[in-house]
Amino acid sequence: MVVIMNSGATKENILQVQRWLEEMGFGIHCSQGVERTIIGAIGGDKSKVDIEQLLSLPGVERVVHVVEPYKLVSRSFHPETSVVKVGGVPIGRNNVVIAAGPCAIEDYQTLVQIAQAVKAAGAHILRGGSYKPRTSPYSFQGHGAEGLQMLHAAGQAVGLPVVTEVMDPRDVELVAEYADMLQIGARNAQNYSLLKEVGQTDRPILLKRGMHCTIEDWLLAAEYIAVQGNTQIVLVERGIRSFETYTRNTLDLSAVPVVHKLSHLPVGIDPSHATGMSELVPTMAKAGVAAGADFLMIEVHHDPPKAWCDGRQSLNCDQFAQLMTELAQVATAVGRSLEVVEDEDHNPL
Ligand code: PEP
Ligand code: MN
């Protein structure tokens, strides 16, 4: 249940409603919007609530029942699209934000080389994996803590915020020290201990869709993070498993408008992992922007055939620059832009 306060509601009015709900056995989640305050009442027994009495409390405008199983991330809870800030880069406004970089961090020199190239092409966030969820235990597992330092330094060197995957709840604190955004990968999309742990950080979260997750499973995974107090979440569709084997996964492009309808969280597309084939990445990236994606994550490597991980799906630096030009045109055609105006109030690491 969600209580929407009117724009003139005072602090005292808000507190009174919160106390009333707490006495009824609800947990409270308060969201202070620009216009109004929204109070989420979680748990409790709705059948015992006297709605007329609740509506009569000063400052209460409306009471909405959130029928979806996910509450805090649902659009009925928060009708405006949320803006998630990574460094100073806002995701969820009219601009489309692009994160690009190598699948795995290999060495500092090549990482900076790629970072410079993606920055010059107009990318807003640098990505790079340091803890790699490889299908085979014999494949390169990532440089771990050392890679985090390289990523942080490369981001600083070129002036881009950085995103990287965290796989283990025990590493969350360390990764949060070095990264502006924490990524939960597809394989860990339903690792509830990990979701709870990242929910306790103040870092924005990039939550990939699990390859076997329905949209509802995915939104409930986001709810696990939100309920811990961290609602800075970007949902990223990266392809799901289907009977089709031609592409690495099957990009569920309709997830973009569907999730926009169901949730206030920004939605992104990862065409690299979705297709597994670099020649398909530009087309699906553009389709993602046309479908309304707020964010794209694209794997870029200076020499894809030699990449230690996911070279087959990585664009080289020139291909990425070319794609950025085309994406700008698609963005304009759908009334959006790749130009990001950084917020001044950001808290860099
Ligand atoms: C990645 O982004 O490097 C990655 C492993 O992605 P996913 O979890 O979507 O497979
Ligand atoms: Mn990868």
Residue 322 lies in a domain: yes
d(CA 125, CA 89): 8
Q: Which two tokens stand for residue 310?
A: 């996911």
Tokens 């698609």 appear where? 330
Residue 124 contacts residue 97 (beta carbons within 8 Å): yes
Element holding 56 (H helix, E strand)? helix 51-56
Please give the C-alpha separations between residue 248 and each of 161, 239, 272, in angstroms, as whole numbers: 29, 8, 9
Q: Does residue 126 share a domain with residue 91?
A: yes
Instruction: Name the residue of 270, 298, 310 to mutate for ligand 1: max ligand atoms within 8 A of Cβ.
Output: 270
Q: How far is the CA of 9 from the centre of ligand 1 (A)?
A: 44
CA separation for the pair 208, 245 (Å, rounded): 21
**Residue 283 Cα to ligand 1 middle (Å):** 19
Q: What is the DSSP string of 271-333?
A: HHHHH--GGGHHHHHHHHHHTT-SEEEEEB-SSGGG-SS-GGG-B-HHHHHHHHHHHHHHHHH
- Is there a single domain that holds both residue 229 and residue 138? yes
Q: Residue of the nearest CA to atom 6 in ligand 1? A: 185
Most informative mutation of 238, 252, 300, 313 for ligand 1 (most atoms within 8 A of CB): 238
Encode pLDDT of 148-172 as tens digits.
999 999 999 999 999 999 999 999 9
CATH number at residue 157: 3.20.20.70
Q: Which atom of ligand 1 is nearest to the CA of 310?
A: 3
Q: What is the average per-residue pLDDT within 317-323?
A: 98
Measure 299 CA to ligand 2 centroid, in angstroms.
Answer: 7
Structure pTM?
0.91
Confidence grade of residue 347 (pLDDT, cut at 50, 70, 90):
very low
- Do 182 and 101 lie in one domain? The reply is yes
Asked whether 133 lines ligand 1 (CB < 6 A), one says yes
> How many distinct helices (H) and strands (E) make up the chain?
11, 14
User: Ligand 2 mean position to 318 CA, how many Å?
Assistant: 19
- Evaluate whether 274 touches 240 at the Cβ level (below 8 Å): no
Residue whose Cα lies nearest atom 8 of ligand 1: it is: 185
pLDDT reported for residue 43: 83
Q: What is the pLDDT of residue 32?
A: 76
Mean per-residue pLDDT for 28-35?
78
Is the model's pLDDT at 216 over the cut of 90?
yes
141 and 225 assigned to the same domain = yes
Both 29 and 116 in one domain: the answer is no
For the record, the structure tokens of 125 come out as 């966030």
> Same domain, yes or no, for 45 and 154?
no
**35 lies in some domain:** yes
The whole-number average pLDDT for the span 98-112 is 98
Q: What is the mean pLDDT of residues 303-323?
A: 98
Residue 267 lies in a domain: yes
Mean pLDDT in residue range 202-228: 96
The four Cα atoms 71, 267, 199, 142 give a dihedral, to 10 degrees, of 150
Task: Give, for ligand 1, the residue of 213, 273, 295 to mutate: max count of ligand atoms closer than 8 Å to Cβ.
Answer: 273
- What is the CATH number for 51? 3.30.70.1140
Instruction: Label residue 67 by pLDDT band (50, 70, 90).
Output: confident
> Kind and range of the H or E element at 130?
none
Please tell me whether residues 224 and 260 are part of one structural domain. Answer: yes
The number of the ligand 1 atom at minimal distance from the alpha carbon of 187 is 8
- The answer, yes or no, to whether any atom of ligand 1 lies below 6 A from the CB of 268, is no
pLDDT at residue 35 in the model: 73
Can you tell me whether residue 39 is helix, strand or coil?
A: strand
User: Does ligand 1 lie within 6 Å of residue 103's CB atom?
Assistant: yes
In this structure, is residue 70 part of a structural domain?
Answer: no
Through-space distance between the first and last CA atoms of the chain, rounded to whole angstroms: 36
Closest ligand 1 atom to Cα of 185: 8
What is the extent of the structural domain holding 285?
84-333
Residue nearest ligand 1's atom 3 by CA: 103
Q: Is 209 in the pocket of ligand 1 (CB under 6 A)?
A: no
Q: Are residues 9 and 155 in the same domain?
A: no
User: Residue of the nearest CA to atom 10 in ligand 1?
Assistant: 186
Do 115 and 255 share a domain, yes or no?
yes
Establish if 219 belongs to a structural domain. Answer: yes
Residue 320 maps to a domain: yes
Query: What is the distance between the alpha carbons of residues 296 and 316, in angstroms, rounded to a whole number?
Result: 16
User: Does 37 fall in a domain?
Assistant: yes
> Could you give the 3-state DSSP secondary structure of residue 267?
strand
AA identity, residue 23: E
Q: How far is the CA of 162 from the centre of ligand 2 (A)?
A: 15
348 pLDDT exceeds 50? Answer: no
**290 vs 76, residue with greater confidence:** 290
Q: Are residues 198 and 131 in the same domain?
A: yes
| For the CA of 104, the nearest atom of ligand 1 | 3
Ligand 2: centre distance to CA 273 (Å): 6
Q: Is residue 96 part of a domain?
A: yes
The distance from CA 3 to its chain's CA centroid, rounded to whole angstroms, is 26
Percent of the chain whose pLDDT exceeds 70: 98
Q: Quote the number of domains for the chain.
A: 2
Query: For the residues 228-257, what does the mean pLDDT come to?
Result: 97
Please write the tens of the pLDDT for every residue from 159-207.
999 999 999 999 999 999 999 999 999 999 999 999 999 999 999 999 9
Torsion angles phi and psi, residue 84, rounded to 5: -105, 130
pLDDT at 33 over 80: no
pLDDT score of 349 more than 70: no
